[in-house]
Amino acid sequence: MPRTLETSDPLSLVLDGRPAPLVPVAPVYEGLGPLEFRWMELRHRKWLHLIEEAGVERLPVDHKTYVELELSVLTETLDDYYPPPAWLALPRRQSKDQVSGAAVVLRGTDLYWVSGDGQETWLPPSRAAYASRQVQERASHYYGLWHRGYHADELEEVLARADTPSSEPTPEEVDRELASGRYGVARALLDRHPGELPLYDSCSTPFIELLGLLGFQEMMTSLVEDPDRTHKLLAGGLPRPSAHLAAAERVGVGIVFVEECLSSADLISPAMYREFVFPYTKRTLEFYESRGFRTVFYFSGDLMPLLEDLKQLPWTALSFEEDRKEYGIDLAEVRQAMGPDRVLYGNVDAPFIEKADDEELLREVERQIDVAGKGGRFVLSPGSPFTPDTRLDRVRFFCESTQRI
């Protein structure tokens, strides 16, 4: 049975089935798009300032400085554009060992993070610079993903895992994970915003993990051509106990965002969904719920022919896309199918948030609450990530919209 979340923010209250003072706002994939670019630019600016202040071109980095800089990047963004109590993905940063021996290096006008073993990561100064370098790389990545998974080298390991019993991490392993330094930023944020900043961890269902193992083409054909191996891969992809999960709980994470993609009714048949997806998604959700986490299950694509199936899954809250491709996704119909007592996330159209004026946006927020949130079991969210061109002040306005109506 999930534990009561030990926070008083509206999202945690709603997920616990308790009365909340207002409709919470929890944007799906909040760390993509405008907030991602903001963090990127702040990170570049702050490292460049430290290099210029030191008068060097190579600045050795200690873990304390690294954590303080990462914390300042997040806190400035929270203060200016993404105010609590909106939720935030767990900021699990590099460990002390990973930072050991690292440096930030200035070459001409470019900044690089150089790890202790010499691996370099470019630190983009702006969204425009990032886009100019990444388009070709992304195109190559997605072209390759059609033919071969990006984790194809792990295929045999996942097949073997299906037959290997899982075990709980030892207390010593959890203590080492907590002492690694990965959670310093998260702990500092929770201390800064006590009881008002719900953190969540995230995972994908076993079905979407097939994409990384097989590539899209084989992922789809394997459902027909090799169902036995497909089932074994799905079983091998089920979540297992880990030191990270135990540490996240100890830090204060009470929510897991579970993403499911490529299983919608426009890609596979309902019969295929029931054979290859539903059983493994059910076990995934049961795993996290049995460990005391609330689960927010995000379904990408056309869910309308699968409403009765999705209703049987043991999620705490259901989140889904806006009606992006004329699927006929209707929040009111989803509410009717799921009943009044289960928690739904709204699916405000992300491009609409970018382009609508304030009054238009508030009217849509009111409409969604009217059709799905009258019983208090409702969380406002876009149906997909904020669009890249959404202004940061619009992100803030949306996050504060339920306080304005």
The answer to whether 398 and 361 have CB atoms below 8 angstroms apart is: yes
Shared domain for 170 and 275, answered yes or no, is yes
Which positions ≥6 away from 6 have C-beta within 8 Å? 252, 254
- Is residue 2, in this structure, part of any structural domain at all? no
Q: Where in the sequence is the domain holding 68, given as residue range(s)? A: 31-81+94-133
Q: How confident is the model at residue 119 (pLDDT cuts 50, 70, 90)?
A: very high
Shared domain for 283 and 361, answered yes or no, is yes
Determine how many CB atoms are found less than 10 A away from the CB of residue 267.
15
The answer to whether 296 and 345 have CB atoms below 8 angstroms apart is: yes
pLDDT tens, residue by residue, 287-325? 999 999 999 999 999 999 999 999 999 999 999 999 877
Shared domain for 391 and 244, answered yes or no, is yes
DSSP state of 169: P
Shared domain for 387 and 296, answered yes or no, is yes
Helix or strand run (H / E) with residue 89: strand 88-89
Nearest of 281, 282, 320, 280 to residue 304 by alpha carbon: 320
Shared domain for 75 and 178, answered yes or no, is no
Choose the final residue of a domain: 73, 106, 133: 133
- Is residue 138, in this structure, part of any structural domain at all? no
Cis peptide before 227 (omega within 30 of 0): no
How many residues in the chain? 405
- Is residue 143, in this structure, part of any structural domain at all? no
Average pLDDT over residues 96-106: 97
Parallel, antiparallel or unpaired: strands 343-345 and 378-379: parallel
Shared domain for 113 and 240, answered yes or no, is no
Shared domain for 287 and 329, answered yes or no, is yes
The answer to whether 263 and 190 have CB atoms below 8 angstroms apart is: no
- Is residue 87, in this structure, part of any structural domain at all? no
Is the predicted pLDDT of residue 248 greater than 90, yes or no? yes
Helix or strand run (H / E) with residue 221: helix 216-225
Parallel, antiparallel or unpaired: strands 199-204 and 88-89: parallel
Count of domains observed in the chain: 2
Average pLDDT over residues 113-141: 83
Residue-wise burial string across 274-290, b where 16 or more C-beta atoms lie within 10 A, e elsewhere: eebbbebbbbbbebbbe
Residue with tokens 């060992």: 97
- Is residue 242, in this structure, part of any structural domain at all? yes
Extended beta strands in 96-180, E state: 103-107, 110-114, 120-123
Please give the C-alpha separations between residue 23 and each of 16, 255, 336, 373, in angstroms, as whole numbers: 14, 17, 19, 8
**DSSP secondary structure, 268-309, as one string:** S-HHHIIIIIHHHHHHHHHHHHHTT-EEEEEE-S--GGGHHH
Q: What is the pLDDT of residue 140?
A: 65
- Is residue 4, in this structure, part of any structural domain at all? no
- Is residue 62, in this structure, part of any structural domain at all? yes
CATH of the domain at 193: 3.20.20.210
Shared domain for 307 and 178, answered yes or no, is yes
Shared domain for 269 and 385, answered yes or no, is yes
pLDDT tens, residue by residue, 190-211? 999 999 999 999 999 999 999 9
pLDDT tens, residue by residue, 128-166? 888 877 666 666 666 667 777 778 889 999 999 999 999
Shared domain for 352 and 400, answered yes or no, is yes
Instruction: For residue 224, report the phi and psi dihedrals to the nearest 5 degrees.
Output: -100, -40
Q: What is the pLDDT of residue 315?
A: 98
